[in-house]
Amino acid sequence: MHRRVLALATALCLTLAGCSKAKSTDQESGGVKTGPGVTDSAIKLGVLVDLTAVFAGLSKSLVQGSDLFWSQQNAAGGVCGRKVEVVVKDHRYDPQVAVSLYRELSGSVLAMQTVLGSPVMTALRPSIDQDNMFTGFAGWSASVLGDERIVLLGTTYDVEAISGLDYLMREKGIKAGDKVGHVYFEGDFGENALRGSEYLAKQAGLTIVGQKIKASDSDMSAQVAAFRAAGVKAILVSAGPTQTASVAGVAASVGLAVPIVANGPGFTPQLLDTPAGPALKANLYVVSSMAPPALDSDAAQQLQTAFAKQYPDAPPTQVGSLFGYTQARVTKEVLQKACDNKDLTRQGMLDALHSLSNVDTGGLVAGPLDYTKPQQPPTRAVYISKVDASAPGGLVPVGAPVEAEAAKTYQPAG
């Protein structure tokens, strides 16, 4: 199936806009070998996110977090004696639009700091591989494991699902013989998460009641009705914020008062101001490698303070801004290592990335992150967070990062 999707993506790329071709533009400046997007004074990076569709709120905060990091870093001198410039484009969660925008950007940037969305990444992979482009993924699909050019910031959706279900068993009374509902997007995101939930369910004697949906589906009434009829004891959600809110709201309205666990992309704090807010506060947990912004750590508190100062009219620091900030921070570590190696080319970026085995984000990612092991996520640890409307970002951790026992030996499907 994965090969067929990639073949279709390749055909789409060729039909739509033509895959950009990597050009031999490597030069040398000040004793450092440089590639596309690098001048004596600047390093240019690309960002492709969804500012107007399914993940608009998340993407806006992500961009703000990235901008905050680079404004701080550039004020401190930049990287390798150069200021970092970030070019942001809105792909509207549309793979065809993303292919066209990537083609516009690819010749003028050293790397893609951020590409958001599993369907978008699938469509872009032929071009990314052809261009040898370092690409930070705002997503956690296991299908990208083994592609040395694609950088995960945390663990994969299937490991998250295993960890979320493990939490329900340890803390919420889910046991062998129970049924658990799972609403999931079609495609890499949701189907990867389903693989994880089904893996642990088989080991633990649970039954997963799956409900596949499209990203355009917003009313989860039919799915919740199916869960109620099946008698599920908990619900997993591997979809967007709109779907999470609908699941929680509809479940509450029909008396299905069960715990709900969503993958990280399924929550934004803006949901707490919707009619579903009370149900989310009562029943929702979020599983993600990304720390909740309310984490009691120096790194998280410094980010909250700086974000509020730079964006006084924006929603408080949330997972999107924390992700954007941290992804920029990791990209900076890679750029600095490449600079130390005197090689700011695309291959130099990749060589630098895969030499890093202990990237410390100050707890902003459940880590540390190890990028030296092919076919493996850089961490298998996650935070489990509970909704709290009074907390920055609307989430508080229920404990320290955890690595579920079943996740330690599970092999994600790359």
Clarify whether residues 400 and 266 are in a common domain: yes
Does some domain include residue 374? Answer: no
Cβ contacts of 356 within 8 Å, gap of 6 or more? 333, 334, 337, 369, 370, 371, 372
Task: Give the pair of three-digit tokens for residue 229.
Answer: 């009829």
3-state DSSP assignment of residue 312: coil
* Phi/psi of residue 360, nearest 5 degrees: -100, 120
Task: Give the pair of three-digit tokens for residue 371.
Answer: 């990028």
The rounded distance, in Å, linking the Cα atoms of 189 and 210 is: 14
Does some domain include residue 116? Answer: yes
Clarify whether residues 261 and 393 are in a common domain: yes
Give the tens place of pLDDT for each residue, 92-117.
999 999 999 999 999 999 999 999 99
CB atoms within 10 A of CB 237: 33
The rounded distance, in Å, linking the Cα atoms of 301 and 285 is: 22
Q: What single string gives the DSSP state of each residue in 168-224?
A: HHHHS---TT-EEEEEEESSHHHHHHHHHHHHHHHHHT-EEEEEEE-TT----HHHH
Clarify whether residues 207 and 329 are in a common domain: no
Contact 213, 186 (CB under 8 A): yes
The rounded distance, in Å, linking the Cα atoms of 368 and 92 is: 32
Clarify whether residues 45 and 147 are in a common domain: yes
Does some domain include residue 318? Answer: yes
Give the tens place of pLDDT for each residue, 12-39.
444 444 444 444 456 665 689 999 999 9
Does some domain include residue 259? Answer: yes
Contact 69, 307 (CB under 8 A): no
Does some domain include residue 376? Answer: no
Q: Looking at residue 113, what DSSP letter applies? A: E
- H/E element holding 68? helix 56-75
- The amino acid that residue 231 corresponds to is G
Does some domain include residue 46? Answer: yes
Peptide bond into 392 cis (omega under 30): no
3-state DSSP assignment of residue 365: strand
Q: What is the pTM of this model?
A: 0.86
Rg (CA), the chain: 21
| CA dist list (Å): 406 to 200, 356, 412 | 7, 26, 12
- H/E element holding 48? strand 42-49
Clarify whether residues 228 and 318 are in a common domain: no
Clarify whether residues 41 and 133 are in a common domain: yes
Choosing from 353, 368, 392, the residue where a domain stops is 353
Does some domain include residue 294? Answer: no
Clarify whether residues 149 and 197 are in a common domain: no
Give the pLDDT of residue 336: 98
Choosing from 353, 374, 391, the residue where a domain stops is 353
Length of the chain: 414
Clarify whether residues 141 and 161 are in a common domain: no
Give the residue numbers spanning the domain of 143.
2-154+299-353
Clarify whether residues 203 and 132 are in a common domain: no
Clarify whether residues 259 and 313 are in a common domain: no
Clarify whether residues 109 and 122 are in a common domain: yes
pLDDT in tens, the chain (414 residues): 444 444 444 444 444 444 444 444 566 656 899 999 999 999 999 999 999 998 898 899 999 999 999 999 999 999 999 999 999 999 999 999 999 999 999 999 999 999 999 899 999 999 999 999 999 999 999 999 989 999 999 999 999 999 999 999 999 999 999 999 999 999 889 999 999 999 999 999 999 999 999 989 999 999 999 999 999 999 999 999 999 999 999 999 999 999 999 999 899 888 999 999 999 999 999 999 999 989 999 999 999 999 999 999 987 778 889 999 999 999 999 999 999 999 999 999 999 999 999 999 999 999 899 999 978 999 999 999 999 999 988 999 999 999 999 999 998 876
Does some domain include residue 254? Answer: yes
* Phi/psi of residue 324, nearest 5 degrees: -60, -40
Rounded to the nearest integer, the mean pLDDT of the chain is 92
Cβ contacts of 269 within 8 Å, gap of 6 or more? 315, 316, 318, 389, 393, 394, 395
Clarify whether residues 112 and 12 are in a common domain: yes
Looking up tokens 């404004």 gives 71
- The CATH number of whichever domain residue 194 belongs to comes to 3.40.50.2300
Half-sphere exposure of 191 (CA within 13 A, CB side): 12
3-state DSSP assignment of residue 409: helix
Q: What single string gives the DSSP state of each residue in 98-111?
A: HHHHHHHHHTT-SE
The rounded distance, in Å, linking the Cα atoms of 396 and 91 is: 31
- Number of folded domains in the chain? 2
Q: What single string gives the DSSP state of each residue in 267-304?
A: --GGGGGSTTHHHHHHHEEEEESBPPTT-SSHHHHHHH
Task: Give the pair of three-digit tokens for residue 326.
Answer: 């941290």
Picking from 137, 147, 134, 146, the residue whose alpha carbon sits closest to that of residue 22 is 134
